[in-house]
Amino acid sequence: MAKKKTLWETYSPEQLAEAQAFCEDYKAFMSNCKTERECVTGIIDLAEEKGYRNLKALLAEGAELKAGDKVYVNNRGKMLMLVQLGKGTFQDHINILGGHIDSPRIDLKPTPLYEDNGFAMFKTHYYGGIKKYQWLALPLALHGVIAKKDGRSIKVVIGEDPSDPVLGITDLLPHFDKDMRTKPIGTAFTGEDLNVSAGTIPYIPENEEEEKDASEAVRKNILNILKQKFDFDEEDFLSSEFEIVPAGPARDYGIDRSMIMAYGHDDRICSYTSAMAQLAYADTVTDRTLVSLLVDKEEIGSVGATGMQSHFFENAIAEIMNLAGEYTELNMRRTLSNAKMLSSDVTNGFDPNYASIHDRTNAPFFAFGPTLHKYTGGGGKGGSNDACPEFIAEIRKVYDDNEIRFQLAELGKVDGGGGGTIAYIMGNYNMDVIDLGIPVHSMHAPWETASKVDIYEAFRAYKAFLEFM
């Protein structure tokens, strides 16, 4: 059998130029949007430029929606849905792209700041499936929001501007880590050890009253800096949300610049390409209603008010159907059942350094396009959505007709591990759902890598799904 050519070899010069330009915009997005809130804000800005309007404003107006109207629904600043109404009814059906915008990271604890022997430190609680040792001795940034009692919301970013300081979690020198090295990797590093160094300069008292309490002067100095820069009071930790993420921009990766290294490819790489695919139709009145659903909390089970297991999706669809004059309980149920969806989430690309985890005949490879996963889960397909072959045949036809390259693969060897996405949750509505995602290396590490041509081909694949399914 002849060896298949990569997208680098089959793309025309024009397509290669388009892919490079698309990935430059993607790198800028990834550099500026490292938290769920930043992703929601960034995509809303792009959507509003294309004529999308806030559902809250439309409800306040008592607006009547029609084909071609564009709506976004912002759930608590951490979950977003884009909807473009089509010519047909909602029952006719809606095409949905769904990715998640949360990524593994380290959060500050509710009461994080303390002092220990002249060091101001932050206590942390990791979020999602991280390998703890990967976060040591790295330049880290603090991103978050301060919710003040007076209703103000203050954005915090420290460590991204070249003039900013960075934070970090120290590592133990190899001369003294004998005990650590003899432990299994899963127990050598604990969550309680991931304390972030914040500073060492003591606060200098400005008057006699302040001199009476000279304890924890370094901690006080950190609070004083935060007060001056962000109007932050210590009690504001109670209503703040701070995330520790890798500091620095997304970068070209490889001497040939064929890949991108960034924090949070999982799964902003699919969420961004999904949103851009939908926004590409902003000037077109489509036959079907288009939906891009960008969710929070996937990395910890899709729980909570901003996770896929909440009723946000169906509530928002009901509100939009009502403004379009189509809502009844029965219409709503038929709409959800008739919908078709790509659950857009990354997959573990074949890595020559770790070839043994893959069945090579069923592995996703870089530069061969996005990957369809008929099922996810682990072992005996536990916890997976298992797509119907008839639905896969429909997708094959659409992609073949539009010259979209894709792969069909598994997550790894049968008993080697596994993973999941939001597909099984959306399948509970009785809609056809399958995973289509971009192969990634070093998934869940502080810095992940992906192929530029896979990113662009995924955009093309999501765009074709929205138009032709």
Same domain, yes or no: 28 and 145: no
pLDDT at residue 1 above 60? no
251 domain residue, yes or no:
no
pLDDT confidence of 83, banded at 50, 70, 90? very high
Same domain, yes or no: 85 and 168: no
Same domain, yes or no: 300 and 430: yes
Q: Which among 376, 368, 454 has a CA at the least distance from the CA of 419?
A: 376
pLDDT confidence of 172, banded at 50, 70, 90? confident
Distance, CA of 16 to CA of 453 (rounded, Å) = 8
- Crossing angle of helices 36-49 and 265-279, in 10° steps, is 10
252 domain residue, yes or no:
no
pLDDT confidence of 164, banded at 50, 70, 90? very high
- Crossing angle of helices 312-323 and 329-338, in 10° steps, is 120
Same domain, yes or no: 290 and 393: yes
- Total of domains in the chain: 2
pLDDT tens-digit readout, 385-435: 899 999 999 999 999 999 999 999 988 888 877 778 899 999 999 999 999
Same domain, yes or no: 216 and 269: no
304/186: higher pLDDT: 304
Per-residue pLDDT, 2: 60
287 domain residue, yes or no:
yes
Same domain, yes or no: 218 and 365: no
Distance, CA of 337 to CA of 220 (rounded, Å) = 57
For residue 328, give every residue at least 6 positions away whose Cβ sits within 8 Å of its Cβ, in sequence order, or none.
Answer: none
pLDDT at residue 4 above 70? yes
Q: Which of 138-152, 306-320, 377-391 has the lowest mean pLDDT?
A: 377-391
2 domain residue, yes or no:
no
CATH of the domain at 99: 3.40.630.10
pLDDT tens-digit readout, 85-130: 999 999 998 999 999 999 999 999 999 999 999 999 999 999 999 9
Q: What percent of the chain has pLDDT above 90?
A: 85
pLDDT tens-digit readout, 191-228: 999 999 999 999 988 776 666 676 889 999 999 999 99
Q: Domain boundary at 219, 246, 273, which?
A: 246
256 domain residue, yes or no:
no
∠ CA 392-395-398, nearest 5°, is 155
Q: Which of 45-49, 64-68, 229-233, 375-379 has the lowest mean pLDDT?
A: 375-379
Distance, CA of 52 to CA of 352 (rounded, Å) = 44
Per-residue pLDDT, 211: 66
Q: Decide: 107 and 191 in contact? Cβ < 8 Å.
A: no
Q: Domain boundary at 194, 216, 246, which?
A: 246
pLDDT confidence of 72, banded at 50, 70, 90? very high
318 domain residue, yes or no:
yes
Q: Tell me what the mean pLDDT of segment 33-43 comes to.
A: 98
225 domain residue, yes or no:
yes
pLDDT tens-digit readout, 378-390: 788 887 889 999 9
Q: What percent of the chain has pLDDT above 70?
A: 98
Token pair in block for residue 52? 């999308």
Same domain, yes or no: 240 and 287: no
Beta bridge pairs of residue 147: 153
Same domain, yes or no: 324 and 463: yes
Same domain, yes or no: 80 and 11: yes
Distance, CA of 469 to CA of 391 (rounded, Å) = 10
Q: Which domain holds residue 162?
A: 105-246
Q: Which among 304, 339, 327 has a CA at the least distance from the CA of 428?
A: 339
CATH of the domain at 205: 2.30.250.10
Q: Can you give the length of the chain in residues?
A: 469
Same domain, yes or no: 298 and 384: yes
Same domain, yes or no: 384 and 421: yes
Annotate 26-71 with DSSP letters as a single string. HHHHHHH--SHHHHHHHHHHHHHHTT-EEHHHHHHHT----TT-EE
Q: Domain boundary at 184, 214, 246, which?
A: 246
Q: What are phi and psi of 187, to 5 degrees?
A: -115, -10
Same domain, yes or no: 235 and 269: no
153/211: higher pLDDT: 153
Q: Which of 6-10, 256-260, 357-361 has the lowest mean pLDDT?
A: 357-361
pLDDT at residue 162 above 60? yes
Looking only at the bridges linking them, the beta strands covering 240-246 and 140-147 are: antiparallel
1 domain residue, yes or no:
no
CB atoms within 10 A of CB 67: 14
pLDDT confidence of 175, banded at 50, 70, 90? confident
pTM higher than 0.75: yes
